[in-house]
Chain A
Amino acid sequence: MSLNDTFTSETELHGVSDPIIEIRDAEVVFEMDRGVSRVLDNVNLTVERGEILGIVGESGSGKSMLASAILDAVVDPGILSGSITYYPENGDPIDVLSLSDEELRKLRWESISMVFQGAMTSFNPTMSIRGHFEETLDAHDFDIEEGMERGHQILSDLYLESERVMDSYPHELSGGMRQRALIALSVLLEPDVLVMDEPTAALDLLMQRSILALLESLKEKYDLTMVFITHDLPLVAELSDRLAVMYAFELIEQGPTNEILQNAGHPYTRSLLNATPNLDAPLSEMRPIEGSAPDPVNVPKGCSYHPRCSVANNRCVEADPEYQQITEEHVAACFHCDDAVEAIPLTHDQAVVQEDEP
């Protein structure tokens, strides 16, 4: 397929100049007894080389499915369609979905690696950490001695006693240690892209912080592009260059982090910001979002958010909004971006979050 044809004006609108991963019209469906379940709906997303992209969404919004889709790892019997293109630093673009099994096996972990949800159970309980490292190197025909040296180095970079951790079995490590060991394992083969699906969900707050700091230094040192998927908006806001917000299996808003925090265009994003707890904001200002997220079999017609939206009108019920331009790099899928800003004032100044950013 001719990749240049797929470059639409839309791509440029998102402010990406040097893409590393490009997702076009990605869709995942599951055939179920009670109907077709569409758990990823027409997702378009471009990841810039060297950036940290945050993807935010609530439970069951399809964000894990998006992560799986990037690696063509959607579980059976789900069907993934659309196109996913990986642009290596040198060489031709790779159409991920048309790779053979063997090519896909090589792409995974060598080029695009993943730390996914449930890191606590990502290690084989009957095998030492060293075993995991060695078999990974072996499976990808890497030099084991050299690879293990790098493995030790990465573990040390993550402030772990590499010898002790290597000799341990998973159950002998604490949650934070296991998480860091998994991150080390994921960058062992020096991939270009690291996709992380809720990598800190099971950790306590302090551990989350320190892992984030480690990730940032790791990114600098190993020149990684990161896709960070989470339900935790404040967490990802601190880390990421750009944000994409997911609601009901669609990406409803994308833009630079600062832009979204200060000037979100989609009513859902604005409500999400208001629903997010914040030490500095009084609890009384917190506004939970009314209603609940839709069922994948039965997504509302038109704009999928309209039943919960305070600014929705008939137009929202009838038609699904396209992306509307807010600034050059910031788009939102809503007919009423301007009304939303007035109708849903942000209860606190999110910009302060940015102060923590380097």
Chain B
Amino acid sequence: MNWHLKRAGQALFTLWAVVTLSFVMVRMLPWSAEDIVVAELIQQNPNLAQNRDMLRRQVQDMLMIDPDASITEAYVQYMMSVMQGDLGTTYGVRSGEEVSAIIAGALPWTIWVMSLATFGMFALALALGAIMAYREQSAFDYSNSAVAIVAASIPYYVAAVVFIKYIGFSDFLFLEMIPARNRLPDGVAVGLTFEFVSGAFRHALLPALSFIVTGYGLTALAMRGNSIQTLGEDYVRVARLRGLPDRRIALRYVGRNAVLPLYTWLIISIGTMFGGAVILEQLFNYHGVGYWMLEAIEANDMPLMMGTFIVLTAAMVVAIWFGDLTYGKLDPRIKSGDEGEAY
């Protein structure tokens, strides 16, 4: 079967599974979001306990399901709504607003920070790992391996706390250029202006750095190991015997073949980072999807919480699908259905 088709199908299947999973959590669990919402509504307005119709309408508005409908009916209802982009209405945070509207305003920012972090981390890790492999057992290799292990031992939120305190709050020379809070400087409007672009970059810098600094280490070490192995492959030896220039061997032979087995690893890293966005956006008061997720939980706002969950996961699925496309381009073996050394 065509690999690309298969992966695209799998992405769609995962999306479906995620929405279904959230339905299960909204409706079917013994401690479901629906029960929590109903209890909350009645607590706020005890009259609702008598006025079942009113209660039903309110719940339906928030969670997109009729609490009195059968499970099948509710499921169809729920799926239809989500497919149309309706994620319900909030009641805790920014009460009464559409969940989808809040998320639409937040998602680009999360994607921006995540892309910065992901590309920054992989670029640093892969380049460093390859150089370490080339200079194996040199002082450069030893010192960088040690630094990588120590850096990898630091949780990203610990790095974030330290960055906020010692860089974000600092007035020292250029450090005052790097803020620790919010998505943009005060008063800067969205638009293609220098203020906007540089502001967005400066404000994303510390959150992205928190991921990069703590995340590159293990990836670099894995890349190092793979590159060392690839350096020992026959085809690299033959390439040298054929008199190919070193640069070409490094990029086309060692680099590319060493990255491929890291694929699964990279996917897991992306997942960890997307998950970490929830924590980091809170610490940096960065109003992305993760920020709203934690706000929702603090306010016990079930619709917003489920909405952010679905969107974060969908973003992750799309990111992985992009990864698949790239991977298919890098490894010709994948197309013939032979998954090669991918996993």
Contacts and interface: CB of A to CB of B under 8 A. Distances in A.
The reply, when asked whether chain A contacts chain B directly with Cβ atoms under 8 A, is yes
A171 B235 contact: no
B146 interface: no
B244 A169 contact: no
A169 B333 CA distance: 8
Nearest to A121: B234
Contacts of B244: 135-136, 139
Contacts of A140: 243
B195 to A, nearest CB: 44
Nearest to A195: B241
Interface string A311-339: 00000000000000000000000000000
Contacts of B257: 124-126
Contacts of B333: 125-126, 169, 171
B57 interface: no
A108 B235 contact: no
A105 interface: yes
Interface in A121-149: 121-128, 135-136, 139-140
Contacts of A135: 244, 248, 252
Given A125-B333, A135-B248, A108 B340 contact: no
Most B-side CB within 10 Å, residue of A122, A124, A135, A185: A124
Given A125-B235, A171-B340, A108 B256 contact: no
Contact of A171 (B234, B239, B338): B338
A123 B260 CA distance: 16
A105 B332 CA distance: 29
Interface string B234-252: 1101111111110010001
A139 B336 contact: no
A341 interface: no
Interface in B205-248: 233-235, 237-245, 248
- Interface residue tally on B, bucketed by range: 20 to 34
Contacts of B256: 126
B330 interface: yes
Nearest to B330: A126
A171 B332 contact: yes
Contacts of B240: 73
A158 interface: no
Nearest to A112: B241
B243 A109 contact: yes
B241 A124 contact: no
A104 B81 CA distance: 69
Contact of A139 (B243, B260, B331, B340): B243
Contacts of B338: 171
- Interface residue tally on A, bucketed by range: 20 to 34
A109 B242 contact: yes
Interface string A105-127: 11011100010101001111111
Contact of B332 (A71, A106, A116, A126): A126
A136 B243 CA distance: 7
Contacts of A185: 242
Most A-side CB within 10 Å, residue of B233, B257, B330, B332: B332
A135 B240 CA distance: 12
A71 B243 contact: no
A108 B240 CA distance: 9
Contacts of A110: 243
A126 B260 contact: yes
A40 B116 CA distance: 54
A18 interface: no
Most A-side CB within 10 Å, residue of B234, B260, B338: B234
B253 interface: yes
Contact of B336 (A108, A114, A172): A172
A122 B340 contact: no
Given A121-B233, A135-B248, A108 B243 contact: yes
A110 B338 CA distance: 36
B330 A109 contact: no
Interface of B: 233-235, 237-245, 248, 252-253, 256-257, 260, 330-333, 336, 338, 340
19 contacts: A109-B241, A114-B241, A116-B234, A116-B238, A122-B235, A124-B253, A124-B257, A126-B256, A126-B257, A126-B260, A126-B330, A128-B332, A136-B242, A136-B244, A139-B242, A139-B248, A140-B243, A169-B333, A185-B242
Interface of A: 71, 73, 105-106, 108-110, 114, 116, 118, 121-128, 135-136, 139-140, 169, 171-172, 185
User: Top 5 A-B pairs ranked by shortest CB distance?
Assistant: A121-B234, A105-B243, A118-B234, A169-B332, A122-B238
